[in-house]
Amino acid sequence: MPKYIENRTLKKIYEWTFEIALAFAVFLLIQNFVLRTATISGDSMEPSFSHNDRIIVSRLHYLLANPKVNDVIIFPDNNDEQKFLVKRIIAKEFDVVDLVGLRFTVNGEFLSDDFSSELIGSLGDQPFPITVHENSYFVLGDNRNRSLDSRFTSVGLIPKSDIVGKAVFVFYPFSKLTFI
């Protein structure tokens, strides 16, 4: 085989290998530091999200801004480090969360809740009222009666440092494509 063909073939193999490795490195950087995907498991966020909906999570969002009430966040499950929970923030640091009747109040006002119209059937095991600690958040699932959330000591208040990111986009199923 002529030498110029061998060199050209090796050069092409090297170029392809380099491009594939570079693409993989960029993918890993984006996945670990910018965006990641998550799959909704269970019905705790219905009607906003359904089981097996797939979402994009911004990992950078909270480097630039603090979490806000009504943001949907992703954080590790205290019971299983391989799992993540998806919940909605209803109260931020120093807010006081209470249950009056079967409805939540935040700082004495009934929760203006466009995401869930359910009365609470499960009060959890946390004693109310709860004052949210500094740099922490009180979260609930939108499907209040099927959600393991801040009402339960196994979840509790979510420290800002535990938040993986903010849910920003539903990308599957395609019929539900939308920004959150």
Whole-number pLDDT of residue 142: 86
Residues 121 and 46 in one domain: yes
pLDDT value of residue 11: 76
Q: Which domain holds residue 28?
A: 1-33
Q: Indicate whether 133 and 159 sit together in one domain.
A: yes
Indicate if 78 and 156 belong to the same structural domain.
Answer: yes
Distances (CA, A) of 36 to 14, 30, 155, 158, 164: 30, 8, 22, 20, 9
Same structural domain, 71 and 96: yes
Structure tokens at 120: 């609470």
- All residue ranges of the chain with pLDDT < 70 are 1-6, 28-34, 113-119, 177
Q: How far apart are CA 180 and CA 177, in angstroms?
A: 10
Please give the biggest Cα pair distance in the chain. 87
- Count of structural domains within the chain: 2
Q: pLDDT value at position 150?
A: 92
Q: pLDDT by residue (tens digit) across 71-120?
A: 999 998 887 777 888 999 999 999 999 988 788 889 989 887 666 666 67
Q: Judge if 41 and 71 occupy the same domain.
A: yes
Domain identity same for 56 and 15: no
My answer on whether 24 and 72 are in the same domain is no
The pLDDT of residue 1:
46
